[in-house]
Amino acid sequence: MTQLYHHGRLSGTGYLSILPVDQGIEHTAGSSFSPNPMYFDPENIVKLAIEAGCNAVASTMGGLAMLSRKYAHKIPFVVKINHNELLTYPNKYDQIMFGSVRDAWNMGAVAVGATVYFGSAESDRQIIEVATAFEEAHNLGMATILWCYSRNDAFLKDGIDYNTAADITGQANYLGVSIQADIIKQKLPTNNGGFTAVKFAKTNPDMYTKLASDHPIDLCRYQVLNCYSGRIGMINSGGESKGESDLTEAIKTAVINKRAGGAGMIMGRKAFQRPFGEGVELIYAVQEIYLAKEVSIA
């Protein structure tokens, strides 16, 4: 994992800036790359990560495999080994293996990434598969990153989406670090009280009073707390691209993550769904938050 922290503009800071582009499978290639068709070619994904001084590039088995001989020694590769494919109708919330840890190791990758949809009907199988894969990765000296998402339609209650509630995502983080994730990738929390609203799992009133408030930094801090009190780093995802507000939202997320004790940002669509140069500048702007000594833990 030290190879991740020792590469890129944030080298030596203890923070991470990773470019993740697995949306070609997760959201369909046409939907993801139509705003900027140059990224149908995976080499441009790697070039963007290098130009922006990212610590690593995270992408699909196929895209990184064909580029490994040219680039694996220039920027750390994180190979995403499972995905939710969208050609099954009706669409379902599932993650299936697209590649092996051994293949990722053979191409020179320093880490593997995987997703578990905690709360979904298939989550038990995903937990078992990912735990087994992460054990193998560690045996080979590789780091592991878990896309640690909750996904269940029942978590939408009275018009509020609790899939990003601090209590639910916090517990997902705790399960994620328990299956040997070295880094947790988590969405920024948008609310709290998912367990009490949906009326499941177990709670304690202190979760919502002593351990968190409604402040965005406190909600994010609760996510970090569930990563073994921050012993396992948590990076927040940048979310979908919405156009002109992307820069403001990305900087806001970075400030919240850093002040809450997070480990950095992993930002994809906001960067690659715009012209190459603008994508680089957006990533630079986020990295400046982690370089700024004025922005400290709250």
| Residues noted as catalytic | 185
d(CA 60, CA 82): 9
DSSP the chain: -HHHHTSSTTTTTT-EEEEEE-HHHHTTHHHHHTTSGGGGSHHHHHHHHHHTT-SEEEEEHHHHHTTHHHHTTTS-EEEE-EE--S-SSS-----EE-S-HHHHHHTT-SEEEEEEEETSTTHHHHHHHHHHHHHHHHHTT-EEEEEEEE--GGGEETTEEGGGBHHHHHHHHHHHHHTT-SEEEEPPP-B--HHHHHT-S---GGGGTTS--SSHHHHHHHHHHTTTTTTSEEEEE-----STTHHHHHHHHHHHHHHTT--EEE--HHHHTS-HHHHHHHHHHHHHHHH-TTS---
d(CA 54, CA 47): 10
Residue for token pair 């920027």 = 75
Residue for token pair 């990722």 = 104
| Burial status of residue 296 (CB atoms within 10 A of its CB: 0-12, 13-18, 19 or more) | exposed
The tokens describing 243, both together, are: 């156009």
CB distance 146 to 130 below 8 Å: yes
The tokens describing 89, both together, are: 């109708």
